Chains A and B, each alone.
Chain A
């Protein structure tokens, strides 16, 4: 699809995906304390931004792979899916009340957690902090 024919939603998703890709793997893996906090997390996560899916492979707290699009017949342990608006609002600095955390977004139906949630919940603070990395500044 050419850039000119992209819808506003596709443009928003592309912008959000760029922010995510620039922030997350690099900032997690370059922060040794961040990696140490996730030392017990080894799992495959499906993270979805609007209609775009990512496969994130965590290995002892480091992100070993972060690829856009899932390979065929690919399994994952847990999924976090959010609407484009959910991610856009979550990464505002500061975010608006009710849009400021994955918990708030789940409650308002803009985000879901699916699959085997134990590894996600057991590493919730690590995961929340990772997902908020694209938000620059703020209290995090």
Chain B
């Protein structure tokens, strides 16, 4: 008998800055809404193990979406997107969050994001904590560490990852650099394959937010975890965001939660979900405790 998974997919049309985007999402579970943001150049499928985990979905309505230009979310039909360079911005990400929450009529959801999504957790904590009940940043930091390049960091990424002379497999190879060595080979290859199939120029364009827009230097100490708790988890084998990078952010956000995840890298949710879960569950239990009687 065929095995069906308890995940339902759908499309929602969101208007952001006057442009309508058809956005794909997958969801499972019931309870506290839990938004799941993928990494740069990737898609919500990274959360497939979590969406299948009854220990999580029994208390959380988990929703993993594909940002426009990612996964099954096409570029906007009514906009000449090909006439401009694709660049993801903090402004767009925040408006996307607002539009998504409004469309689904979600009340103070929890949020978790990885890599650029981890950066976004901290940005949301700074800009609009009142909209969320909890923010979880995976592989997030105060600011992206400067790259050693003759170009600006953004131009270096475009040269390597949006270049007709370089195939998209280079992207997977680059991501392979930041996966923990303990990761099962089949999971490792799933991660790199998903990167290899991303849209042209999308990873490089996403890095605009990751490298440029995200910078909480001089601001992070104003994040108030009394308004919304900020949890920070970072893998020990992540050279892109080292645990010490995340700790620098955590040290500035008084009362935030920080944990280094041994034997995980830049993609903890997909590298080894069972291991990641051992770090995630105490966080989810804390969220449930804090939200008890509030809903």
Which residues on A are within 8 Å of B, measured CB to CB?
Answer: 94-95, 97-98, 100-104, 106-108, 117-118, 121-128, 138-140
**With known contacts A101-B239, A118-B165, A121-B160, A94–B181 Cβ distance under 8 A:** yes
Q: Which of A106, A117, A139 has the most CB of B within 10 A?
A: A139
The answer to whether B181 touches A138 (Cβ under 8 A) is yes
Measured CB to CB, the closest approach of chain A to B75, in angstroms, equals 26
Q: Report if B84 contacts A (CB, 8 A).
A: no
Contact call A125/B172, Cβ cutoff below 8 A:
yes
Contact in complex: A139, B185 (CB < 8 Å): yes
The reply to whether B181 and A104 form a contact with Cβ atoms under 8 Å apart is: no
Interface residues in B54-72 (C-beta closer than 8 Å to A) = none
A-side contacts of B115, CB under 8 Å: none
A residues less than 8 Å from B184 (CB atoms): 139
> Do A122 and B236 have beta carbons less than 8 Å apart?
no
Q: Which of A97, A128, A139 contacts B236 (CB 8 A)?
A: A97
List of A residues within 8 angstroms of B170 by Cβ: 121-125
Give the residue name and chain of the A residue nearest to B172 (CB): A125
Give Cα A22–Cα B132 distance, bound, in whole angstroms.
57
Q: Is the CB of B165 within 8 A of A128?
A: no
User: Would you give the shortest CB distance from B225 to chain A, in whole angstroms?
Assistant: 28
Report if B182 contacts A (CB, 8 A). Answer: yes
Q: How far is the CB of B130 from chain A (nearest CB, A)?
A: 37
Query: If A125-B169, A128-B173 touch, does A100 touch B185 (CB 8 Å cutoff)?
Result: no
Task: Provide the residues of chain B in CB contact with A128, threshold 8 Å.
Answer: 173, 176-177
Instruction: Provide the residues of chain B in CB contact with A102, threshold 8 Å.
Output: 177
Instruction: Give the distance to chain B from A120, nearest Cβ to Cβ, in Å.
Output: 9
